Amino acid sequence: MKKLLLTVVLLSITVVPSFALQQSQEQDVTIDDYERAEQFLGKNTSAKVYNRVMGQSWSSGDILIYNTRTPEGKIYYKVNPQTGKKEKAFDHQRLAESLAEVTSQEIESEKLRLRSVTLTDGGKKLRYRLFGKRYETNLSDYKTKKLAEKKKRNEVLSPDGKKAAYIKDHNLWVRNTETGEHTQLTTKGEEYYGYATNNAGWVKNESPVLLWGPNSEKIATFRHDSRDVGEMYLYNSKVGHSKLKKWKYPLPGDSTVFKIERVIVHLGENPEVVKLDMDPDYHRSTISDHIASWGGRFLDNEWINDGKQLAFVSSSRNHQVAQLRVADAQTGKVRDVLREEVDTYFESGYSTESWTVLDDTDEVIWFSERDNWGHLYLYDLNTGELEHQITKGNWRVLDLQHIDEEERTVYFTGSNRAKGNPYYHYLYKINMDGSDLQKLTPQQKHHRINWSKSKDYFTDSYSTPERPPVTVVRNRDGEKVMTLEKADISELKDSGWVAPEQFKVKARDGETDLYGLMYKPSNFDSDKSYPVLNYLYPGPQSGSVGSRSFMPSRSDKQAVAELGFIVVEVDAMGTPGRSKSFHDAYYGDMGDNGLPDQIATIRQLADRHSWMDTTQVGIWGHSGGGFASTRAILEYPDFYKVAVSGAGNHDNRNYEADWGEKWHGLLKEKKGLNKKELERFAQGDNYDKQANQLLAENLEGELLIAHGLMDDNVPPTNTLLVAEALIRANKDFDMLMIPNVGHGFGYARNYFMNKRWDYFVKHLKGVIPPTYVIGKND
């Protein structure tokens, strides 16, 4: 799902088809091909790209520090956009020598790997992280000292840096970072009913989920109720007794799922917990299937009026209702502001929430797709009445970037408005009354934005999948102030690198445009015929292609193409970034997986290119892509001949509740089904139609399914359900269950990649693959 192999079970002995053996001489795959393929993996291509802007960090006074790789080594620069001056941020040799004394390690000046670099004390001191530790160097004499860690593991630091919140014994505590004093903030926490618990089922950790108040004197959080929620189980492999891992993990249709009881914690000599005067909310957010960001920020919460009030959104279990509310931080009294209800699912933005409260005017900017496109609306915070729509048209707002309340101007990223690829992102600004919409990033490319602290400047890095990035500094009106770097890929090209090719085709409906990338071998010969490989991630929360910015490697897609394949990926209907109807394409039918669009894409490309052999098509994906690739070979056996599936959520009744209930709807039993309709694997509900195991009898081609036995995101029972159904149907397939690894396959990543390459070579090209080990020289 969100967004290698140790062979444990061998369920079939693969026989290379006779037709493939006849082709084997002309499609021979050698060790040289494998060696060349490995050179196209990111670990090898990234080092051949120079002058990219990396590690950006804005300090006070709008001073930017970044680093870039050059053929001579890494250089750190300091930039002042107000003067247009760019210079080395420090003396690299002196800093390396100073660090060598402090760390007792030999450090080469051209290989400094500093992180989180900032200037302090008016630019006189440099702070940074190295080897996981904090350091400060005085730039006048290059004296370096190690700094104490303000934040320990599993803590959330307050805005003033003087407090760090953490969980102990299911209660919330705070540590004074200056004195080391620890204070207990809550007292009634207990197992499965604790404060600030970070558990969404599919992901969990020990850090608290909370939002610090602007003055560091309050915390918005919750009491997480999982007392009657069902459990999930895994066990490791070891000599002796295995260790059982169990945790709370709700599933679609469960009578009880995670809920949160919202509270505001007031710090001080006598901490006070104010429970909000409302019923518990479902563990849901408007932007994710978790209520926490990766950093532990409590999503859909915003302090207003200098921390006197808390604005937040309550979401229904099925994500169809979003209720904006405001709570009094002292009394806990809650009032409703506005409510939005949709027929499918409500989302409040693209990568983060795009709603915010305007304190000075008691208004709220609200994001909605009510007119089929993501746009911004202005509401009265007191009455909940709509004042007017801010943005409109057949294009979409992506994420709010900055609000200038004084100038009544909104800055946001958007897409689908400019000519060309609708997945290119641009920065826009518009007046709050909806007038004077301006595009601030003119190039017809994909733009990545990084704002200065004052929001007077931003870096704009623009590129395409084929063209490397140029990074400039612009002011808030979009005027270019200075150019920072132009990436150099000449060495990458000299090594034989070829860019993926962008294409546009029609979707299943014959009308909607789809956009994707195609990868051809670097030694491509148009007189030859190539089997086709289809990579996919069906979403619905993301698509196959990902960012349209430049990347020297996109996973191993170019690498596997080097073995004599054409690789195709496309963002099918049902994925985000465009209109609401495009995203809703297969709502309620997750088994669709965008596969009709994948097939339509490959057929159209083959009509254009005679060298694509659509009689030999393979497909692969991981997580949701594992679900979809298995679905492909089971539902479309006449088209897909080979599939490799990793960690698939093959039946979303066996995956966490929030996922299935958002994209497929709440589980509903079907009435009046007879015994024949309720066979072993059918459950008699609306989720039957998405379950891969129900299509096991359709398998005709070659299928390799794999799963990690310690996968606490997508439990391995998902793959075992399919395996059982295939065995009962007496179908030949290959399965690899990997001990002691989670969702990403851990130590077995390269092993599984190797097996996947071999599997496609053997079954699509009819060639016994050479003995080769990816990463043997790492």
pLDDT tens-digit profile of 34-70?
999 999 999 999 999 999 999 999 999 999 999 999 9
Long-range CB contacts (within 8 A, 24+) of 582-590: 582/512, 583/540, 584/344, 586/540, 587/344, 587/345, 587/540, 587/663, 587/664, 587/665, 588/344, 588/664, 588/665, 588/686, 589/664, 589/689, 589/690, 590/540, 590/627, 590/652, 590/660, 590/663, 590/664, 590/690
Distances (CA, A) of 669 to 228, 250, 680, 687, 725: 22, 18, 16, 9, 22
Residue 547 corresponds to which tokens in the numbers above?
């960012």
Residue 455 corresponds to which tokens in the numbers above?
């929001």
Give the integer Cα–Cα distance in Å for 175 and 179. Answer: 8
Q: Rounded to an integer, what is the distance from CA 506 to the centroid of its chain? A: 26
Phi, then psi, of 650 in degrees rounded to 5: -70, -20
Q: Which segments in the chain show pLDDT lower than 70?
A: 1-27, 673, 675, 677-678
**Closest to 755 in 3D by CA, of 693, 702, 685:** 702
Give the integer Cα–Cα distance in Å for 450 and 171. Answer: 37
Residue 777 is predicted with a pLDDT of 80
CB within 8 A of 526, min separation 6: which ones?
610, 611
Distances (CA, A) of 699 to 246, 324, 424, 533, 641: 34, 48, 39, 18, 10
**Beta partners for residue 368, in sequence order:** 375
Distances (CA, A) of 778 to 19, 32, 39, 553, 774: 37, 17, 12, 18, 9
Residue 477 is predicted with a pLDDT of 97
Residue 43 corresponds to which tokens in the numbers above?
């670990």
Distances (CA, A) of 20 to 11, 16, 641: 22, 7, 12
Tell me what the pLDDT averaged over the chain comes to: 95
Q: DSSP class of residue 148?
A: P
**Closest to 422 in 3D by CA, of 501, 504, 346, 348:** 504
Beta-strand relationship, 438-439 and 198-199: unpaired
Residue 671 is predicted with a pLDDT of 79
DSSP string, 584-611: TTTTT-GGGTTHHHHHHHHHHHHHH-TT
Amino acid at position 658, single letter: D
Class of residue 77 by CB neighbours under 10 A (exposed 0-12, middle 13-18, buried 19+) = middle
Say which CATH superfamily domain 18-47+491-667+721-764 falls into. Alpha/Beta hydrolase fold, catalytic domain (3.40.50.1820)
| Delimiting residues of CATH 3.40.50.1820 domain(s) in the chain | 18-47+491-667+721-764
Sequence-ordered alpha helix ranges (H) in 566-688:
580-583, 595-608, 624-635, 657-663
Q: DSSP class of residue 763?
A: H
